[in-house]
Amino acid sequence: LAGNISGLAMKPEVFDSEPGGFRENLLQIYEHMRRDDIFATYAVVPPPGARNKEYYQSAGVAQPACRVTGEDDKGVILNGMKFLATGAAYAHEVLVGNIMPLEPDQKKESITCVIPLNLEGLTLWSRPPLNRMDTNPFDNPLTTKFDESDCMLTFNDVHVPWEKIIVHDNAPLSRNIYTQTPSHVMANHQCNVRFHSKMRFLVGLASLITKVTGARDIPAVRETLAKLAAMEAGYGAMIDGQLYRYHEVDNGYVLFNRRALYAALHWAMENHSHLMDTVRELLGGGPFQFPASIDVMKDPYLKEMFENYWSTGDYGAKERMKFFKLAWDLVGSDHASRATSYEKFYVGPAHAVRNYNFVNAPWEELHGIAEGLMDTYDIPSDEMLLNDGGT
Ligand SMILES: Cc1cc2nc3c(=O)[nH]c(=O)nc-3n(C[C@H](O)[C@H](O)[C@H](O)COP(=O)(O)OP(=O)(O)OC[C@H]3O[C@@H](n4cnc5c(N)ncnc54)[C@H](O)[C@@H]3O)c2cc1C
């Protein structure tokens, strides 16, 4: 979210381009978040199931999407829900807005604001935590470090002061602020860098696991590792491309290359499950050979048995279990499963990610390559055919 807000502040004039934009508020919010080191998340999607407004109109029930239901001198009143603020349980503030286009008549839903999570009437409805009190870092090393929480936000007569609002009553502007400023690119470059770090970790761990299983020098296994290494290097190059082919944009700023960024987002979304499946295959049934918890080491009788039976030539039982538990937390645990959904959806659904690639492609230039070649020939004359040896 830091990237999002910084990207908005890089082109604040977009907020002056239409009624309903609050440029000064945005700049104040940017300064406050920077100065006070605010950890913020965002909820920028209407709740699934709330997108068919005809249903709610015909059934005569209030639509659940978060909207402005009143306003006064001090600010606006919000009611409804917003989907799905990752990290909200740990955050100071949340950006409420719309990354999906709204219909022009949905202007009350266009409210975009950055608010503290403890405003009266604002509640978080969270999935169960995966990192529980009794979760052991040895058995679930990633879950215990990286369980972020995912929360629905519900607004029950929440009063939002005017100074926290950056868009109000303008449906197109509430979405365009992300794409007509560097905001979307700034935020998602960080996501690309994060994904690359995860790939480096994954490839290293995959290779170590094959050492532990003793399969690393089998030609077919080396080939699998080589493919993983090639994917990791290629993805890294897509990030380098965002830096080397940067754009010069307004207000004296430079920006990561948009096409390389959206291509990398698409690549990650398409390939994450395949990467996980490849590591799972390298693991074989290994993760299931170990006891439920490393607590066995606290009982002298079980410890001795465990060390006797589970050790192999090069690796002790505890060491082997440590590798397999880490790998399972990456590819197979509840945490891993949640991460698989995250990698598919955090930018938006697949069709939206493809659309970013479509709208940013230089179609004229690409058409020109094929058209330029076609311009070099036409229906051959009889003479040309004879010269070319045609019949
Ligand atoms: C773990 C996790 C964390 C998240 N964190 C955040 C967050 O921090 N902040 C935030 O705002 N959001 C977050 N999200 C929500 C995310 O933005 C949405 O999941 C995403 O935009 C997709 O919307 P949806 O889930 O409603 O899927 P839907 O729109 O219901 O789509 C589901 C599926 O239906 C099909 N489909 C639907 N419409 C179309 C169409 N027009 N064309 C083709 N196929 C279609 C596709 O197969 C699609 O995958 C998170 C989601 C997950 C899973």
For residue range 367-385, list pLDDT tens digits in order. Answer: 999 999 999 999 999 888 8
What CATH number corresponds to the domain at position 299? Answer: 1.20.140.10
330-343 tens-digit pLDDT: 999 999 999 999 99
- CATH number for position 81: 2.40.110.10
269 Cα: distance to centroid of ligand 1 (angstroms): 12
Q: How far away, in angstroms, is 349 Cα from ligand 1 center? A: 5
Pair 226, 164 in one domain: no
DSSP secondary structure letter of residue 129: P
Q: Do 125 and 206 sit in the same domain of this protein? A: no
Specify the number of domains making up the chain. Answer: 2
> Which residues approach ligand 1 with their CB closer than 6 A?
41-45, 48, 83-86, 150, 338, 341-342, 345-346, 348-351
Co-location of 224 and 327 in the same domain: yes
H/E segment holding residue 242: helix 219-244
Torsion (CA) 39, 156, 166, 37 in degrees, nearest 10: -10
- What average pLDDT does range 148-174 have in this prediction? 98
Q: What is the ipTM of this complex?
A: 0.98
Distances (CA, A) of 256 to 159, 184, 187, 204, 323: 37, 11, 11, 28, 37
Q: Which two tokens stand for residue 305?
A: 């048995």
Q: Residue 270 C-alpha to ligand 1 middle, in angstroms?
A: 15
| 61: Cβ contacts below 8 Å, ≥ 6 apart | none
For ligand 1, what atom is nearest to the CA of residue 48?
Answer: 26
Residues 17, 154, single domain; the answer is yes
Taking residues 95-124, report their average pLDDT.
96
Residues 6+ apart with CB under 8 A from 209: 279, 282, 283, 286, 323, 324, 327
Q: Are 81 and 227 within one domain?
A: no
Q: Which residue, 192, 191, 4, 34, is CA-closest to 97?
A: 4
User: Comparing C-alpha atoms, which of 222, 201, 226, 210 is closest to residue 314?
Assistant: 210
- pLDDT for 48 beyond 90: no
What is the phi/psi pair of residue 54, to 5°? -60, -40
Instruction: Read off the pLDDT band of 63 (50, 70, 90).
Output: confident
Average pLDDT in the 3-17 region?
98
Please report the pLDDT score of residue 92 as a whole number.
98
Nearest CA to ligand 1 atom 30: 48
The pLDDT of residue 171 is: 97
Query: How far apart (Å, rounded) are the C-alpha atoms in residues 91 and 87?
Result: 6
Peptide bond into 78 cis (omega under 30): no
Mean confidence (pLDDT) of the chain: 96
Q: What is the CA radius of gyration of the chain?
A: 27
Domain encompassing residue 232: 183-366
Residue 350 alpha carbon to ligand 1 centre in Å = 8
- CA-based max dimension of the chain: 95
Question: What separation in Å is there between the alpha carbon of 101 and the centre of ligand 1?
Answer: 14
Atom of ligand 1 nearest to the CA of 347: 17
**For position 134, what pLDDT does the model report?**
92
In percent, the amount of the chain with pLDDT more than 70 equals 99
Tokens of 41: 């998340």
Cα 266 from Cα 264, distance rounded (Å): 5
Res 384: pLDDT: 85
**121, 147, 179 — which closes off a domain?**
179
Closest residue to atom 7 of ligand 1, CA basis: 85
- Angle among Cα 207, 210, 214 to the nearest 5 degrees reads 145
Q: Is residue 261 part of a domain?
A: yes
* 304 belongs to a structural domain: yes
Confidence of residue 389 (pLDDT cuts 50, 70, 90): low
Residue 96: strand pairing partners: 43, 113
